[in-house]
């Protein structure tokens, strides 16, 4: 269920770092269509040779993304297997991971952040309609295709990346380190359900409105585990309606978390109320 890409059709560029058991590189793929040769910029995600045992989960995550297509889901072109290297070939998304982008550019507006939140909610709604759980929603897995000019407020465009190697294979410590993105029930079941993505959506909203700062980053694995054992919540944001939406998503009882339709409605009303406040301020100033 995958397009196989010949190794000789790939050219390798600079290393862009590492993921869980993967190394990522810039690169290009060439494909002959009719007599014309097309060259496309790609991201090459290579699974560590010493983690061969998770290659089927590595490809399963990618095949999930390649079976469905949506404007806010990352495009996976296919896989290339060469000697002992398993390579996933993805579309290259120009501005990279959202968490790093937010840390760098502290000047994005509230409406810019709400626009990103709405796009993520739409992607999750699409997955929910297909009854597909992603399992790794976080700002690091949101890729920025278009910056949108923060000053002139033209809009950003994000793509949700593949979930990566499934946590069930990653081991307990990796799952613990994903607190508070991973839903609490996953620690017991190691099963990813639709409700888990709603919890992670809440955590990701918190990241976006805290300029990419990772929640609970100073805590070690024991303290992170205790955060859930004590049914703790993230520090509430000043904007009450936003804090309420995050709290709804991050309820310890999965069945109480809102549907994606409800999440989209609430983000839309935040956008409206946000604009109204800005409009009112302009009125007062004039």
Q: Would you give the binding string for ligand E4V spanning residues 223-252, x where CB under 6 A is met? A: ------------------------------
The footprint of ligand E4V on residues 76-95 (CB under 6 A) is: 90, 92-95
CB of 161 to ligand E4V, least distance (A): 6
**Which residue from 143, 170, 183, 245 is in contact with ligand E4V, where contact means CB under 6 A?**
143
For residues 161 and 102, the answer to whether their CB atoms sit within 8 Å is: no
Encoded one letter per residue, x for contact with ligand E4V by CB under 6 A and - for no contact, window 20-49 reads ----x------------------x------
5 or 43: CB nearest ligand E4V? 43
Binding pattern for the stretch 93-112 against ligand E4V, x by CB under 6 A and - elsewhere? xxxx----------------
Structural Rg of the chain based on CA atoms: 20
Q: Would you count residue 66 as binding ligand E4V (CB under 6 A)? A: no
Nearer to ligand E4V, 17 or 235 (CB): 17
Contacts with ligand E4V, residue ranges (CB under 6 A): 16-17, 24, 43, 74, 90, 92-96, 143
């Amino acid at each position: 269920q995958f397009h196989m890409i010949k190794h000789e059709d790939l050219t390798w560029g600079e290393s862009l770092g590492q993921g869980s058991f993967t190394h990522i590189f810039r690169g290009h793929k060439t494909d002959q269509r009719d007599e014309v040769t097309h060259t496309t910029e790609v991201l090459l995600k290579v699974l560590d040779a010493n983690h061969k045992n998770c290659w089927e989960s590595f490809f399963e995550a990618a095949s999930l993304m390649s079976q469905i297509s949506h404007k806010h889901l990352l495009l996976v072109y296919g896989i290339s297997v060469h000697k002992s290297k398993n390579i996933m070939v993805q579309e290259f998304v120009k501005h990279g991971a959202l968490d790093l982008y937010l840390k760098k550019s502290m000047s994005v507006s509230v409406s810019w952040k709400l626009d990103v939140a709405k796009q993520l909610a739409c992607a999750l709604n699409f997955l929910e309609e297909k009854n597909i759980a992603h399992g790794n929603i976080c700002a690091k897995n949101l890729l920025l295709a278009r910056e949108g000019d923060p000053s002139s407020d033209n809009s950003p465009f994000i793509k949700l990346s593949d979930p990566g190697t499934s946590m069930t294979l990653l081991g307990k410590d990796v799952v613990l380190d994903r607190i508070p993105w991973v839903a609490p029930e996953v620690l017991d079941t190691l099963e990813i359900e639709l409700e888990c993505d709603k919890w992670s959506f809440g955590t990701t909203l918190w990241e976006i409105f805290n300029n990419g700062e990772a929640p609970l980053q100073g805590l070690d694995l024991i303290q992170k585990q205790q955060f859930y054992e004590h049914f703790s919540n993230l520090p509430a944001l000043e904007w009450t309606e936003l804090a309420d939406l995050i709290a709804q998503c991050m309820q310890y009882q999965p069945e109480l978390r809102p549907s994606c339709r409800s999440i989209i409605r609430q983000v839309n009303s935040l956008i409206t109320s946000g604009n109204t406040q800005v409009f009112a301020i302009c009125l007062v100033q004039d």
